Structure formats: structure tokens, C-alpha cells
Structure 1
Amino acid sequence: MPVSHHHATINGIHTHWVEAGEGTPVVLCHGFPHLWFSWHRQIKALSEGGYRVIAPDMRGMGQTEAPPDKEVYGVAAITGDLLGLLDHLSVEKAVFA
């Protein structure tokens, strides 16, 4: 299943994510130093299994903006990014991995 790429300013930074499928939203969060592409096999399987998969490039990686201040990479900022993405997509509830 092909993914669609999206960009928006979320939580004050330019953010990139991909989406595939329809159904219950599943947000796939990668670690350092990976990208959304780290999940490409899972994206295919989950989207074919009836889920709406949302896989962002996390703050500072891939096509998502990298703020220069190291203090803005903590849990609060990253949580804000993910909640902002859900708000942008009008998603009220999602499963996170």
C-alpha cells in the first residue's frame, strides 16, 4: 500500500509525516536516529490490516524541522508535537507504538 506524505507547522515547527490506510489510528514513533521509513514494513502490514497508520519524522529528524536549542527535545515538547499532530488531523484517540 502506498503512503501519502504530508507537511504542516505543528507545535511551532515544520513537520513531516506519512499516512496509509483507514480505520483506527495508529501512530508509529521512531527513535534516534531513525525516520518514518524505519516502520515501512509495519506501515504496510497495519494499513492492509484495517488501520490508519500515521508515522511522523520526529522532531529534528528527516524532513521535520530541527530547532537549534537542545532544551526543546524533551518529553514535553515531543508529546506536544504528537498531540499537535493528532489535533491537526482531527484525531481524538490513537494507539501509539
Structure 2
Amino acid sequence: MKHTLEEKRDIVRQIKRGRPLSSLCKTLHLDRHMVRNWLLRYEKYRDQGLRIRTPKYHFNTQEKERIIWEHTKKRISLNLPSREGPGVCDARAKLP
């Protein structure tokens, strides 16, 4: 579920006023890590930090291996997120 800038700002302000992050997250059914990221981005960038959207890259192992193989073949550097499965080195070892 997407949250508006106003919702994020209100949640961050409640935490800044002293409401415990964990109890706020429990009450509002929000992920604690997501709200913590909002707080950290707000402290660093103010409202602009709450506008930042986290890219959602989800590569399965086969997609990672294919990308690595193509980049290795073309000698292009890799910049892959690693959220699941083997790391870049493990996947590279499986290439033909």
C-alpha cells in the first residue's frame, strides 16, 4: 500500500514528538523497517526524503545468471542488488 507524503510526515512527526516507533507501527499495521527508513530520510532530507521512492528490483536466480552472463560477454561492469538466492560470485561460477 502506498502512503502519501502527508501520511509519512504525520507518522514521522509523531515519532519525533516521542511516540515509540514500535508501538506506532503496531497500531497502524506498518512495517517497522519502512517507517525507520522514512524517519532517517526525513532527518537527512526533510520532506524531500519522504518523496524518495525505493526501487523494487526483484531478480530470481535465473535472471541474475542471465544478466551476469550477458555483462560478462560484453565486459560491462555489474551493479546488481542481491535480495535472494546466491550472490554475484556464486552465480558467476555456474556460467558455462
TM-score (norm 1): 0.29
Q: Which has the higher contact order (CA 8 A, sep 6+)?
A: 1
Instruction: Please say which structure displays the higher CA radius of gyration.
Output: 2
Structure richer in strand, relative to its length:
1
Name the one with the larger helix percent. Answer: 2
